[in-house]
């Protein structure tokens, strides 16, 4: 190699000299093990669609003569104040410890009113994840309390450095929020929260400190250690599909199982599995669970008529949910976060089908919804009618309709290459990834020179190398559809997850990031002379952004809407009341966001948002916070916009505030 830069002994030697000699790998494995257990967690609606499929869990009514369930031991350390499923009034079950929920069934949070930091002297602690009964998404903590080492846990949190969040910039990404509830002899409680994202902060009596990961690890290890001498045997909450558990379980530790299905018409059926059937399932899993092979096609899951889940739980009521795919494969994760596929034998599969058929339909309400007085009604829209979408589905361009429906997948290519004489090229969100994926461009690539370059961008990609770095992170997938004069259509799949592959039938290539960038650059070239603002049809509120990395200082919105959520939650699947933003207000918003500084939200999102469209019709989303400011992410950073008084005067009422 004749690259002169590689021969720079100064830089090379100096860089090598400064590395300390005492770097030790001693803690790498344990740390990796803890991170591995969490890094594949459900993050947002997109991840939920990819792995579990959004569905509200079905609460199973435990019949009087139903399967035997384990009863909690009667020691004082296992006080049955967590006997879910036995609440008076028939309130559907909430998974995990009762201490993790308020009386109205909403999850507790460190941000709730409490006076002062946690103090020593606690006698119990509970570990709470971010499970939302509203959506059925999130992690559930252990059902049993921790009863030793509590003072040390609190002291270690309080010994960490204080973080001034008003001057520290942390990205507003999301990984996992958790809470530890400490209970004292007088029954009072203190909550210490933690965010495993952003600045990795703990929150204790209003004081933010570093060390959320360490606190999480300490809690995790404490429970694992306590369980070594704990017989378990708790009442099993009746949830299917079950949530993810902070303390992960191995499928072969299952002592109870349930099977549930949800049809496209919303009908649900659910049943407990007999002990014998659970034993048969776990025996089969132990023998036949297989990790995915390299480049093995993923199980199919395109719009089945009925979604089916198998939920297992162990003696500590930790959950493991497996989703069944159309080809009979179940996808699951073991206690270490490894993804596995399980294919039951025909006989076992038939038994599971029969169990579900016997269950029949049920009208049992979804878990987590309160029953009786106290239910809060959805807020009435207070702005002009605008457009309300009950089942928000973003616009799909004509050339992408079959990609969206799942009817089009990657196609076999002639001699493994895309012919370069297509008439147009569409970039389409793929299948189930419609909601939550960044929006592709409205228009196809049609300029002759650019269309041929799009084909060349694929053809020039290298085959997947043997040591391709693949990760378990989640991301969207797209179909790049080439249309030819004779009516032929060729499609290649662009995956922004896993091995970052680009797949055209049997032709598999790598470096999807490079391919995507090349494609987007072609679209930018085509748009260089765009002079008319494009309108994106359909509801805009479900949109989460654009495939183009739009930066606020480069965004000049030509139209936009306010989105007022009509239900709780802040994900793209929530219906929203949508209203157009007047031109004068739009101009003020453009001015405001162009100079918005980097920042970190100090309060939570309130579920509302603004969706702006650029001249090309690409969406840019501003999320509204509880204090009336707005935030959005730009790559690694987040920006905060505080509307000026005049703007806020006009903008705030549009959100019904």
Partner 1 sequence: MTESLVDEAVGFEQFVAERGRGLLRAAWLLTGDHHHAEDLVQTALAKTWGRYAAMSNDHKFEAYVRTTIYRTYVSWWRRMSWRSERPHDDVPDTEAAGGADALRVDLLRALDGLPRMQRAVLTLRFVDDMPTAEVAHVLGIPEGTVKSHSHRGCAALRGSVHLAGQEVTP
Length of the chain: 657
Nearest C-alpha neighbor of 529 from the set 450, 456, 593: 450
Please report the DSSP string for 158-197 in residue order: HTSPB--TTT-------S-EEEEEEE-TTS-EEEEEEESS
Which residues, 260 to 289, sit near partner 1 by CB under 8 A?
286
**Token duo for residue 74:** 């009667």
Angle (CA) 440 173 493, round 5°: 30
Verify binding: residue 210, partner 1, rule CB under 8 A. Answer: yes
Number of residues that bind partner 1 (CB under 8 A): 69
Part of the chain binding partner 1 (CB under 8 A), chosen from 163-171, 228-236, 419-427, 587-595: 163-171
State the Cα angle at 5 between 3 and 8, rounded to 5°: 130
Which tokens sit at 486?
């004779």
Rounded to whole angstroms, the Cα distance separating 118 from 204 reads: 7
How many angstroms separate the CA atoms of 365 and 345, rounded?
33
Q: Which of 132, 168, 383, 590 binds partner 1 (CB under 8 A)?
A: 168
Cα–Cα distances in angstroms (integers) from residue 34 to residues 39, 218, 224, 482, 485, in the given order: 9, 10, 12, 44, 54
Residue 630 sits at φ, ψ, to 5 deg, of -130, 150
Among 31, 121, 361, 379, binds partner 1 (CB under 8 A): 31
- Site for partner 1 (CB under 8 A): which residue of 473, 584, 627, 649? 473
Among the listed ranges 12-20, 342-350, 400-408, 531-539, the one in contact with partner 1 (CB under 8 A) is 12-20
Q: Which of 81, 86, 275, 294 binds partner 1 (CB under 8 A)?
A: 294
Cβ proximity to partner 1: between 415 and 466 the closer is 466
Which of the residues 563 through 622 are near partner 1 (CB under 8 A)?
598
| Token output for 556 | 């000049």
Residue 20 touches partner 1, criterion: CB under 8 A:
yes
* C-beta of 171 vs 277, nearer to partner 1: 171
Please, which residue, 26 or 485, has the CB nearer to partner 1? Answer: 26
Question: Would you say 453 or 588 has its CB closer to partner 1?
Answer: 453
CB of residue 512 to partner 1, shortest distance in Å: 9
- In 3D, which of 41, 39, 42, 40 has the Cα closest to residue 571? 42
Residue 252: name the closest of 230, 278, 218 by CA: 278
Q: How far is the CB of 96 from partner 1 (least distance, A)?
A: 24
- 27 makes contact with partner 1 (CB under 8 A): yes
Residues 592, 439, 457, CA angle at the centre, nearest 5°?
115
472 lies in the binding site for partner 1 (CB under 8 A): yes
Q: CA of 148: how far to CAs of 121, 126, 211, 219, 502, in Å?
A: 11, 12, 21, 11, 51
Q: In angstroms, what is the minimal distance from the CB of 246 to partner 1? A: 16
Span 484-523, contacts to partner 1 by CB under 8 A: 500, 511, 513-514
Query: Among residues 83 and 518, whose Cβ is nearest to partner 1?
Result: 518
536 vs 154: CA distance, rounded Å: 52
- Judged by CB under 8 A, the residue of 380, 529, 531, 636 near partner 1 is 636
Binding of partner 1 by 466 (CB under 8 A): yes
Least distance in angstroms from the C-beta of 219 to partner 1: 17
Structure tokens at 327: 């080809």
CA–CA separation, 431 vs 205, rounded Å? 45
We find the least distance from the C-beta atom of residue 607 to partner 1, in angstroms, to be 23
Order of strands, sheet of 361-362, starting from the edge strand that comes earlier in the sequence: 339-342, 330-333, 319-324, 306-313, 256-263, 268-272, 361-362
Least Å from the CB of residue 338 to partner 1: 5
The set of residues, in sequence order, having a beta carbon less than 8 Å from that of 621 and lying 6+ positions away, is 543, 544, 545, 609, 610, 611, 612, 632
Q: Which of 69, 73, 442, 470 binds partner 1 (CB under 8 A)?
A: 470
Interactions with partner 1, residue window 132-161 (CB under 8 A): 161
* In the complex, least distance from residue 559 CB atom to partner 1, rounded to whole angstroms: 31
Question: What is the rounded distance in angstroms from the CA atom of residue 38 to the CA atom of residue 551?
Answer: 30
* Helix spans in 19-125 (H): 28-39, 44-51
Interface stretch with partner 1, choices 9-17, 130-138, 519-527, 642-650 (CB under 8 A): 9-17
CA contacts within 13 A on the Cβ side of 273: 28
Q: Mark the segment that binds partner 1 (CB under 8 A) among 6-14, 99-107, 352-360, 613-621.
A: 6-14
CB closer to partner 1, 31 vs 360: 31
Pair 567, 574: CB distance under 8 Å: yes
Q: Is 32 in the site for partner 1 (CB under 8 A)?
A: yes
**Interacting residue with partner 1 among 196, 197, 209, 490 (CB under 8 A):** 197
Plot region of 57 (φ>0 → left; ψ -120 to 50 → alpha; else → beta): beta
Site string for partner 1, 33-62 (x = CB under 8 A): xxxx--x-----------------------
**How far apart are CB 200 and partner 1 at their closest, in Å?**
7
List 346, 363, 467, 529, residue binding partner 1 (CB under 8 A): 467
Q: Please state the closest distance from residue 38 (CB atom) to partner 1, in A.
A: 8
Query: For the window 221-250, what string marks contact with partner 1 as x by the rule CB under 8 A?
Result: -----------------------------x
Candidate ranges 110-118, 268-276, 352-360, 465-473; the one touching partner 1 (CB under 8 A): 465-473
Residues engaged in binding partner 1 (CB under 8 A): 1, 3, 5-6, 8-20, 23-25, 27-29, 31-36, 39, 161, 163, 167-171, 173, 197-200, 210, 213, 250, 286, 291, 293-294, 336-339, 465-473, 500, 511, 513-514, 598, 636-637
């Amino acid at each position: 190699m004749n690259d002169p830069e590689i021969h720079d002994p100064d830089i090379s030697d100096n860089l090598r000299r400064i590395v300390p000699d005492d770097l030790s790998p001693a803690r790498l494995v344990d740390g990796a093990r803890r991170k591995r257990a969490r890094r594949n967690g459900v993050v947002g609606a997109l991840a939920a669609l990819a792995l579990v499929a959004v569905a509200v869990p079905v609460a199973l009514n435990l019949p009087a003569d139903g399967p035997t369930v384990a009863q909690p031991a009667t020691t004082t350390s296992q006080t049955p104040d967590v006997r879910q499923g036995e609440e008076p009034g028939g309130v559907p079950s909430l998974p995990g410890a009762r201490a993790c929920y308020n009386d109205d069934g909403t999850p507790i949070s460190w941000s709730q009113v409490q006076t002062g930091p946690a103090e020593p002297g606690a006698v119990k602690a509970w570990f709470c994840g971010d499970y939302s009964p509203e959506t059925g998404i999130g992690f559930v903590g252990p059902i049993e309390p921790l009863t030793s080492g509590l003072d040390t846990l609190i002291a270690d949190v309080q010994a960490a450095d204080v973080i001034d969040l008003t001057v520290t910039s942390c990205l507003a990404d999301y990984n996992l929020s958790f809470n530890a509830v400490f209970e004292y002899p007088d029954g009072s409680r203190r909550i210490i929260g933690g965010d495993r994202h952003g600045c990795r902060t703990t929150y204790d009596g209003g004081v933010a400190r570093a060390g959320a990961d360490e606190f999480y690890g300490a809690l995790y290890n404490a429970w694992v250690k306590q369980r070594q001498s704990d017989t378990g045997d708790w009442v099993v909450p009746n949830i299917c599909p079950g949530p993810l558990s902070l303390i992960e379980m191995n499928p072969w530790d299952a002592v109870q199982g349930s099977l549930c299905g949800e049809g496209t018409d919303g009908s649900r059926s659910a049943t407990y599995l007999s002990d014998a059937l659970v034993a048969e399932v776990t025996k089969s899993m132990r023998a036949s669970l297989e990790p995915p092979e390299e480049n093995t096609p993923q199980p199919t899951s395109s719009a089945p008529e009925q979604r089916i889940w198998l939920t297992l739980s162990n003696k500590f009521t930790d959950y493991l949910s497996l989703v069944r795919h159309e080809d009979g494969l179940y996808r699951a994760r073991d206690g270490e976060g490894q993804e596995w596929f399980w294919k039951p034998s025909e006989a076992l599969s038939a038994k599971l089908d029969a169990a579900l058929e016997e269950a029949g339909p049920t009208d049992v309400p979804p878990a987590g919804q309160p029953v009786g007085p106290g239910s809060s009604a959805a807020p009435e829209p207070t702005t002009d009618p605008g457009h309300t979408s009950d089942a928000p589905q973003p616009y799909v361009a004509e050339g992408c309709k079959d990609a969206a429906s799942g009817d089009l997948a990657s196609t076999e290519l002639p001699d493994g290459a895309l012919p370069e004489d297509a008439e147009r090229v569409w970039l389409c969100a793929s299948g189930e990834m419609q909601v939550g994926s960044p929006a592709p461009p409205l228009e196809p690539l049609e300029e002759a020179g650019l269309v041929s370059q799009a084909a060349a961008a694929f053809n020039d990609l290298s085959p997947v190398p043997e040591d391709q770095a693949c990760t378990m992170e989640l991301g969207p997938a797209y179909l790049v559809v080439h249309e030819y004069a004779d009516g032929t259509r060729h499609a290649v799949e662009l995956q922004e997850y896993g091995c970052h592959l680009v797949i055209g039938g049997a032709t598999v290539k790598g470096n999807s990031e490079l391919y995507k960038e090349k494609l987007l650059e072609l679209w930018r070239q085509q748009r260089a002379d765009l002079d008319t603002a494009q309108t994106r049809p359909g509801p805009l509120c479900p949109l989460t952004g654009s495939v183009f990395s739009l930066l606020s200082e480069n965004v000049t919105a030509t139209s936009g809407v306010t989105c007022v959520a009509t239900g709780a939650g802040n994900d793209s699947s929530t219906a929203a009341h949508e209203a157009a933003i007047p031109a004068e207000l739009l101009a003020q918003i453009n001015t405001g966001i162009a100079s918005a500084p980097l920042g970190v939200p100090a309060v939570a999102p309130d579920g509302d948002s603004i969706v702006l469209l650029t001249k090309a019709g690409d969406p840019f989303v501003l999320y509204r916070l509880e204090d009336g400011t707005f935030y959005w992410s730009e790559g690694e950073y987040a920006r905060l916009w505080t509307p000026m008084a005049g703007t806020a005067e006009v903008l705030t009422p549009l959100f019904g505030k």
